[in-house]
Structure 1
């Protein structure tokens, strides 16, 4: 991709377009990228320069066009008023690293299951059970984040549908 836009150098939308330009020269220019995405060139420039936030449908269009599905996750985790409080941003590693993370987060699943059964059998989470319940929730969050990262890797690299 020709020259680097230094003002946009750390903008995730600019970085996604730059990554896409490595395999598709149409994304080397903001003009052609905007045309493919279906937005105005100046709007794309303002998004990449952080002067305006993108609309969710623009993020979805960029993620699809650039083949960077993690862009939607990053938008939800960083910019969406609701998502900022409920969505964890994930990073996509190489497949072997992701597979190990998923397997590592699942290694204690039997003890988590047994602990959850023990806590829930009376239908009440007692004060003394709260630390164990929090550990269960933390483990489930780790499993969820690792599973989402693996899913995004699959969407990006082998075109598995989301």
Structure 2
């Protein structure tokens, strides 16, 4: 059994590996994780300690090996220079929390629909409608964040066809 790595304690990569080690005890050590993933042990240590960012390919491999889809969001929202500007951080939450967040985000849909129709009916954004467009954008970002939380929950908790959005 491995010791708790206090220097890496806040690393999502370390925490995901420790969570995965509850199912696969080989992942309890970096050596075992290196064998499972093919990522060099010292490279894994640098990633977990935050002294090196993982490559996108490494993140995909770790997320798959650890069954930790939240690592994909973490990488995009915190490590990737483009993603930091476009992706909001999101964590795997409990089912009831995810559903309440989704319901809250969808409140006001009728008002937003009416605003979009009002603005779009003449085919252009007139002066003065830019404030409404800002409100619409804020609403859509909130819905997107709730959808991302729901996707993470589904990827983490459901297997097979449900993860692909198929019946």
Q: Which bin holds the TM-score, normalised by the shorter protein?
A: over 0.9
Structure-2 residue corresponding to 1:104: 104
CA distance in 2, matches of 1:129, 1:37: 52
Structure-1 residue corresponding to 2:163: 161
Tell me the CA shift for residue 50 of structure 1: 1.5
Q: Which residues of structure 2 form unaligned runs of 5+? A: none
Tell me the CA shift for residue 73 of structure 1: 0.7
Tell me the CA shift for residue 7 of structure 1: 1.3
CA deviations over 1:91-146 (Å, ceiling 9, x no partner):
22111111111112112112111110101111221231111111111111111110
DSSP 3-state at the match of 2:129? helix
CA distance in 2, matches of 1:75, 1:39: 17
Give me the TM-score of the superposition, normalised by structure 1: 0.94
DSSP 3-state at the match of 1:137? helix
Say if 2:103 is the partner of 1:125. Answer: no
CA distance in 2, matches of 1:84, 1:150: 20
Aligned length: 162
Where do residues 2-151 of structure 1 align in structure 2 (5 Å cutoff)?
2-151=2-151
Instruction: Determine if contact 2:102/2:143 at 8 Å carries over to the other structure.
Output: yes
Runs of 4+ with deviation above 6 angstroms? none
CA deviations over 1:6-53 (Å, ceiling 9, x no partner):
111111111111111122211101111111112111111111111211
DSSP 3-state at the match of 2:88? coil
Q: Which residues of structure 1 form unaligned runs of 5+? A: none
CA distance in 1, matches of 2:52, 2:93: 29
CA distance in 2, matches of 1:151, 1:139: 18
Give me the TM-score of the superposition, normalised by structure 2: 0.91
CA distance in 2, matches of 1:68, 1:16: 6
Aligned-residue Cα RMSD (Å) equals 1.3
Deviates more, 1:152-161 or 1:136-145: 152-161
